[in-house]
Structure 1
Amino acid sequence: MQAVVCHGPRDYRLEEVPVPSPPQGGALVRVEAVGICASDLKCYHGAAKFWGDAIRPAWAETRVIPGHEFTGRVVALDDAAREKWGVEPGDRVVSEQIVPCWQCRYCTRGQYWMCAPHDLYGFKRRTPGAMASYMTFPPEARVYRVSGELSPAHAAFVEPLSCALHAVERAGIRFDDVVVVAGCGPIGLGMIAGAVAKFPARVVALDVSDAKLALAEKCGADLTVNVSNTDPEPIVRDLTGGYGADVYLEGTGHPSAVPQGLNLLRKLGTFVEYSVFKDDVTVDWSIISDDKELDVLGAHLGPECWPAAIRMVESGRLPMNEICTHQLPLADFQDGLELVADGTQSIKVSLIPE
């Protein structure tokens, strides 16, 4: 089969590799679509680490097939997998991006998304990803059925949407909150949709692209602000009687969005960080402590949010055709990476294996 294989920073190659065999208790899946994530791009451009004679990206092993947001059809599985996951050959499925070990401190406490070994599809050789014609699901995986009526690219969007919904869950949004979402890319748009579903007083979307802000409105944002030409602070102050936003969800990955959020929040507000940052971010921590006593929370992956994300995509409430802007053949993976790196011509880019 064809597969994209990581050989190091900026060295991903399309190769012919053997079709894998389904593991005992697992499944063989024919990949229908795989999205390119900002973290995939971070791995591709990653600073090199030296391991003996090998050079590896800082976040991925070499000789691994990337791709952690995907959908596909079950080709083969045994009775144990069939009973565990409730799927049959021919079913369209997705799998959570992490394959938990189910034995570490986090897994045994129900916090599987922070699993200590942290085997994510597409980052370690133990869990090859979906930039290939076929992939396998290990027996430890978390697997869900998805409607076969969806476009494959739309079904693959369940992964980033689940991540966005987890960030929304972390925020603890209340009915009278004013929620600000920074960034209207795949994660930010999912945050907007998830925040709107919590029915707060207002959801305000921030971005530098008018086209993305228009898409944010279609996802339910009550108000949009182009921060390249308008200061959002007086607008948010006006909405909140001068106090500031109750919740700020950061989904841009740009360092300037972090102090922006700290300044927009009211005292005792909540800041949720999800983005993948290329560079370190420095802020005035006295704003978090002495000035405002903020709750600053991280969010990682999409634990327990996959069923909701599946329902949301299947419901048709999201403008999926406008979110999933590009579907390219697997052989054009380099063009896909460049589209994601550019950031101005696309929202969600997916690869479609033959």
Structure 2
Amino acid sequence: MNNTLPETMKAVINHGPHDYRLEQIPVPTRGPGELLLKVEAVGICASDLKNWAGAAKFWGDENRPAWSETECVPGHEITGRIIDLDDEARAHWDVELDDRVVLEQIVPCWDCLYCDNGDYHMCAPHMMYGFKRANPGGMEEYMTVSTNSLVHKISKDIPPAHAAFAEPLSCALHAVERANIKFRDVVVVAGAGPIGLGMIAGAVAKSPAQIIALDMDPRKLEIAKKTGATMTINIAEQDAVQVIKDLTGGYGADVYLEGTGHPSAVPQGLNLLRKLGTYVEYSVFKENVSVDWSIISDDKELDVLGAHLGPHCWPAAIRLIEAGKLPLDEICTHQLPLEDFQKGLDMVESGKESIKVSLIP
């Protein structure tokens, strides 16, 4: 280990629902084949907020198991510089000292049914950075990267918060891939937050006929236009279902990508899709959602698909970020010191001031 490093570091520790604390803990020592990173940025997302609130309680279902262990360091949208490694790590990830890297949030076992089939993002043990003590997350000054991890190099010429955006962007791109968008399609993206804006950027690369962004915040809708939306609808002022039906001769949209996490966005999507349309869900909901399943089956025969994490999409996400395809200065609105982690969580919960909030350890 680098002898110039301090013995202790600042880290956010999860002690239970609404009980995260900034503490001094020992700087970790990497094991054989592992990396030691100086964390440069870690984003805060809806799942971090859900975790902070106490996952089971957040769902309103005390029988639902919590996502996270206590005494864990949260944070899974991570970028950092490599400050210590060995030859095994060099060969495994094709990295070198001082490379900037981003980490996929999942740490696969590489030995279960899903990993064997190439679906590593659905790994049965499902270890993830920031949720288990065995894989501390990025809300700390230094962290180790275990040998099962997926590591990608990213440019050192972009701001750290932009590099950390590779995680939500990869997730959004996976949702776009699930949608199987065609050139003729009218695509509707619900929500112009980090995931929704990433969906718009991904949809642009598929060249559909229309990309329509829905939100209630005029500022976010303007950023959606800069990201590539061909049309925006403020759902606080207009009936999105009627507007889209009028636009499509009464039929409805071909594809609906849901990225708000608000229960009302689910029936909205089912109602504004045409028959044989495609609905892709990528949200962390605060509560259970009920819908009329007859719309999905008897009325429209919809394809309803889920999307989880960003498997195989990280190289594309990194290319989009490095090429400047998204207005990241306007998307990555707030960068806060680690000491202000609670302010960051509060900003994400409110959603009124920020789009993407990152901590800079």
- Corresponding residue number in structure 2 for 1:324: 332
1:244 partnered with 2:252: yes
**Aligned with 1:17: secondary structure?**
strand
Equivalences for residues 292-311 of structure 1 within 5 A: 292-311=300-319
1:339 partnered with 2:347: yes
1:162 partnered with 2:173: no
* Counterparts of 1:179 and 1:146, CA distance in 2: 30
1:13 partnered with 2:13: no
Return the offset for 1:238. Answer: 2.5
Identity of aligned residues (%): 69
Return the offset for 1:57. Answer: 8.1
User: TM-score when scaled to structure 2?
Assistant: 0.95
- Corresponding residue number in structure 2 for 1:290: 298
Return the offset for 1:136. Answer: 0.9
User: TM-score when scaled to structure 1?
Assistant: 0.97
- Corresponding residue number in structure 2 for 1:153: 161
The structure 2 residue matched to 1:102, chosen from 106, 110, 130, is: 110
The structure 2 residue matched to 1:262, chosen from 256, 270, 278, is: 270
Check whether the contact 1:3–1:131 (CA below 8 A) recurs between aligned residues.
yes
In the TM superposition, structure 1's runs of 4+ consecutive aligned residues that sit over 3 Å from their partners are none
Check whether the contact 1:94–1:144 (CA below 8 A) recurs between aligned residues.
yes
The structure 2 residue matched to 1:42, chosen from 30, 36, 50, is: 50
* Counterparts of 1:88 and 1:248, CA distance in 2: 42
Check whether the contact 1:8–1:57 (CA below 8 A) recurs between aligned residues.
no
1:235 partnered with 2:237: no
- Corresponding residue number in structure 2 for 1:205: 213
Write the letter of the residue equivalent to 2:256: Y
1:62-116 deviation per Cα after TM superposition (whole angstroms, max 9, x unaligned): 0000000010000111111111111101000011000000001100111100000
* Counterparts of 2:98 and 2:178, CA distance in 1: 35
Return the offset for 1:163. Answer: 0.2
Could you list the runs of 5+ residues in structure 2 that have no partner in the other structure? Answer: 1-8, 58-63
**Aligned with 2:26: secondary structure?**
coil
- Over 3 Å counting, the alpha-carbon distance change for 1:47 and 1:80 in structure 2 is closer
**Aligned with 2:157: secondary structure?**
coil
**Aligned with 1:169: secondary structure?**
helix
The structure 1 residue matched to 2:127, chosen from 119, 123, 129, is: 119
The structure 2 residue matched to 1:196, chosen from 204, 216, 225, is: 204
Return the offset for 1:301. Answer: 0.2
**How many residue pairs end up in the alignment?**
347
* Counterparts of 1:194 and 1:239, CA distance in 2: 23
Write the letter of the residue equivalent to 1:352: I
1:221 partnered with 2:229: yes
- Corresponding residue number in structure 1 for 2:69: 61
Write the letter of the residue equivalent to 1:21: T
1:129 partnered with 2:137: yes
- Corresponding residue number in structure 1 for 2:79: 71
Write the letter of the residue equivalent to 2:249: G
- Corresponding residue number in structure 2 for 1:182: 190
Deviating more after overlay: 20-29 vs 144-153: 20-29
**Aligned with 2:214: secondary structure?**
strand
Return the offset for 1:234. Answer: 2.3
Check whether the contact 1:9–1:48 (CA below 8 A) recurs between aligned residues.
no
- Corresponding residue number in structure 1 for 2:32: 24
RMSD of equivalent CA atoms: 1.1
Write the letter of the residue equivalent to 1:33: A
Write the letter of the residue equivalent to 1:327: Q
Return the offset for 1:47. Answer: 5.0
Check whether the contact 1:154–1:324 (CA below 8 A) recurs between aligned residues.
yes
* Counterparts of 1:318 and 1:47, CA distance in 2: 31
